[in-house]
Amino acid sequence: MSPSELRAEFPIFAARPRPFHYLDSAATGQICRAAAQALLGFEAAARANVKRGVYRLADEATQAFDRARAEIAAYLGVRDAREVILTSGTTFGLNLLAHGLVGRLAPGDEILLSTLEHHSNIVPWQLAAGRVGAVIRAIPVTAEGRLDLDRLDEVLSRRTRIVSVTHVSNVTGAVSDIGRIVEAARAVGARVVVDGAQRVPHGPLDVEALGCDAYALSGHKLFAATGAGALWIRRDLAEELPPFLGGGEMIRRVSFAGTSFAAPPHRFEAGTPPIGPAIALGAAAAWLAGLDWQALAEAEAALTARLLAGLAAIPAVRVVGPTGTQGRLGVVSFAVDDVHPHDLCQLLDSRGLCLRGGHHCAQPLHDALGLEATTRASLALYNDASDIDALLEGLEWAIRRLA
């Protein structure tokens, strides 16, 4: 599929007036045609509740919902689709895990996070730790914005019970060495959770081979609808965890004397799920799985290199994160001397450039880097050289106006 053909699979690019350069995919990806059609098809012509209905329409909806679970599992490299829980997104999945795993913790036990984490992978664990008197520790970062795994032994101990880290930083674009983290965690008997929100838009995975125990993702970052996501949990762990929410569809039998719960994944899917968005997520995963990801990875690396080189040539700009393309994806944050990111993003918007300015829900990382906020450009499979060139030209123009 050529770049123009690929871009045509995302309806927004034909719908928006030009110039239009979308460089905020780390916040939310644009919906692909396959997902949009699946969502509209369900809501307009196949809408019914799932799991319990016995009439034809309900049965068709349930089959579509189950197919979506299988499509997501295939994209993640999961052999048993029953290990995939359909959620509202990464935040929900991480909260579910923090709630379920807190029962394993005793006062003084440790939860190891990292300085790269999004707030969604910090706050739930802080809440859990506060309930039982556990201790939060964090893997530090290098000056380049990578996890400093050479210092892992300093923060990992025999009291560590849970390690929860991002697969890819939403600020620096750095890819975490999950294998090394898993090996160290296993040596002390800790479970490993991975926030995959920023990794999943960049191609299919094999989460089982990663060695972690759980992997969370959001559908809106995987070019599907908002409101749906997925959480993979190894079956042995899932079967041990208590429910996160109570209600319909997650029970075996309810009486006032007590309730018995359904097996995973249904135990964790209380109430009516986000059916249409989940079906859209499955459709996006199935469509994405058929693309040439080696070529797409090479194209993204070339665009990232073009952007990094261009930013390095602007004296007022400081890139936050790796300055090369090895071990990083196309999430590039930067600071501009004496210019606030919000002012910069608003001015760039006048030229059709969509970027993100702020702390990106990663305040501990910005504190570690000595910054209040940064401007972020994040790439996806629909970006091309014209987006990079427009950003670099616009940035120099904006700096002249704002500095």
Helix/strand number for the chain, H first, E second = 15, 15
196 and 222 co-located in one domain: yes
d(CA 230, CA 340): 35
264 and 302 co-located in one domain: no
111 and 170 co-located in one domain: yes
List the catalytic residue out of 32, 345, 354, 361.
361
Last residue of a domain, one of 227, 255, 289: 289
d(CA 211, CA 403): 48
Question: Which CATH number characterizes residue 317's domain?
Answer: 3.90.1150.10
- The burial class, CB within 10 Å (0-12 / 13-18 / 19+), for 340 is middle
DSSP type of residue 62: H
95 and 232 co-located in one domain: yes
The answer to whether 212 is a known catalytic residue is no
Domains held by the chain: number: 2
Widest distance between CA atoms in the chain: 71
Phi, psi (deg, nearest 5) at residue 47:
-75, 125
Range of the domain at 333: 3-28+292-402
Residues 387/25, Cβ–Cβ less than 8 Å = no
88 - beta bridge partners? none
Per-residue pLDDT of the chain (403 residues; tens, 9 = 90+): 888 899 999 999 999 999 999 999 999 999 999 999 999 999 999 999 999 899 999 999 999 999 999 999 999 999 999 999 999 999 999 999 999 999 999 999 999 999 999 999 999 999 999 999 999 999 999 999 999 999 999 999 999 999 999 999 999 999 999 999 999 999 999 999 999 999 999 999 999 999 999 999 999 999 999 999 999 999 999 999 999 999 999 999 999 999 999 999 999 999 999 999 999 999 999 999 999 999 999 999 999 999 999 999 999 999 999 999 999 999 999 999 999 999 999 999 999 999 999 999 999 999 999 999 999 999 999 999 999 999 999 999 999 999 7
330 and 273 co-located in one domain: no
pTM over 0.85: yes
The 3-state DSSP composition of the chain as helix, strand, coil percent (nearest 5) reads 45, 20, 35
